[in-house]
Structure 1
Amino acid sequence: MRLQSRKILATTSIFLLLTACSLFEDAKFKVTNEQVGLLPKDTPAAELEKLFAEDSVVEDVYDDIPNVTAYTKYKIFEKGGELLLTLTPDKEDSLKVINHVRIEDPRYTSEAGISLESTFGELQDTYTIKKISPTLNNIVVFVEESELYFSIDKEELPENLRFGVQKVEAVQIPEDAKLKYIMMGW
């Protein structure tokens, strides 16, 4: 009888440990309006090393671009070299609070289930499109329900929409167009 109780206790303990690990992994890659994985909104750059102690934080300083004010970006690499996030602090803030996040890893998923592996059709089925802004190489899709915004490479568009910065409507974007970037602007 004791042997059976120990087996049940061991099995339960292993199950709880695996569940806890799974919940941590989910939290590590969950994206909300207040947090991107382990990064909460209003995080000063000085806290990045502590926050991402298990990962590598690389500071890139851009100060040699003519006619551009120097700025810094932080790249977060997972052990093993996988790029997770690119973070940009507010240049005007003395604390250098992170106010822009570019999600680089497809494991990061919004509360609604959108990731870098999603398509425009899935994005459109999940969120209400607020605005679509063309840039030189991409279109940027803003949504009503989230601080997230999404970039799609113009190569995913019909050929007549790939060049220039003409207006693009949601109905012109193929449903199978892949997301290029997911960004958070705080």
Structure 2
Amino acid sequence: MKKTLLIIGIVSLAFVQCGKDSDPFLIKNGSIGNLNKEIKIKQIDSIFAEDSIVKINSSPNALETQGEVEIYEKGGKKLLLLSPDSENDPNSTITNVQVFDSRYKTEKGLTTASTFKDVKANYTIDNIETTINAVVVFLKETDVYLTIDKKSLPEELRYNMDLEVEASQIPDNAPIKYFMIGWEPISE
């Protein structure tokens, strides 16, 4: 009787485990859904076979996917922009991903719809860099980095690029302008 219960338990557990697919919208270190940092740009067609793929900078004579690629849902909603290390090499790995769809979220719940308050509550800020029209926020222990429009900052921080912006100076309600993921190129 005990052996029968044990076998039933193991078989049930196996069925439950087999039914779990990976979340196609989960962002983790080194991956976003079914896409990971080791995937070559030429493999995008098979990974996103159910979606629409728009090749931005592809060579007209290219047989395989190369260059920047936009991914759209079949319904037309823009999901991602993928940028490879080398525009002309189909064997190049993806080094930058721009996320457009708010269904994509980190393990700590950060999405394109999040505010800076959500960032501060869940992540340690590694560095903040100032550009002409935005500040770029780099987060510790994650591949994610964010851009916040300077229009969301106090007036005295908007026009001086030499000022170092600190996390405490960014308002809690500041929205994320660009939600990015950066990976180091994989060398073969």
- Report TM bin, short chain: 0.7 to 0.9
Structure 2 partner of 1:159: 155
Offset at residue 120 of structure 1 (A):
0.5
Offset at residue 92 of structure 1 (A):
7.8
Offset at residue 93 of structure 1 (A):
8.5
TM-score norm. by structure 1 comes to 0.78
Measure the CA separation in 2 of the matches of 1:108 and 1:154: 24
Contact 2:57/2:87 (<8 A) preserved? no
Structure 2 partner of 1:138: 134
Q: How many residues align?
A: 158
Match of 2:23 among 20, 23, 27: 27
Moved over 6 A (4+): none
Contact 1:120/1:176 (<8 A) preserved? yes
Match of 1:104 among 86, 95, 100: 100
CA deviation vs aligned residue, 1:46-102 (integer Å, no higher than 9, x gap):
110110000011111189xxxxxxx93110001111110000000288412111111
Match of 1:117 among 95, 113, 118: 113
Q: Is 1:53 the counterpart of 2:49 in the alignment?
A: yes
Structure 2 partner of 1:176: 173
TM-score norm. by structure 2 comes to 0.78
In structure 2, list runs of 5 or more residues that go unmatched: 1-15, 60-65, 184-188
Q: Which one has a larger percent helix, Structure 1 or Structure 2?
A: 1
What is the root-mean-square deviation of aligned Cα atoms in Å? 2.1
CA deviation vs aligned residue, 1:124-159 (integer Å, no higher than 9, x gap):
110011100011111110111211111111111111
Contact 1:42/1:99 (<8 A) preserved? no
Measure the CA separation in 1 of the matches of 2:124 and 2:172: 15
In structure 1, list runs of 5 or more residues that go unmatched: 1-15, 64-70
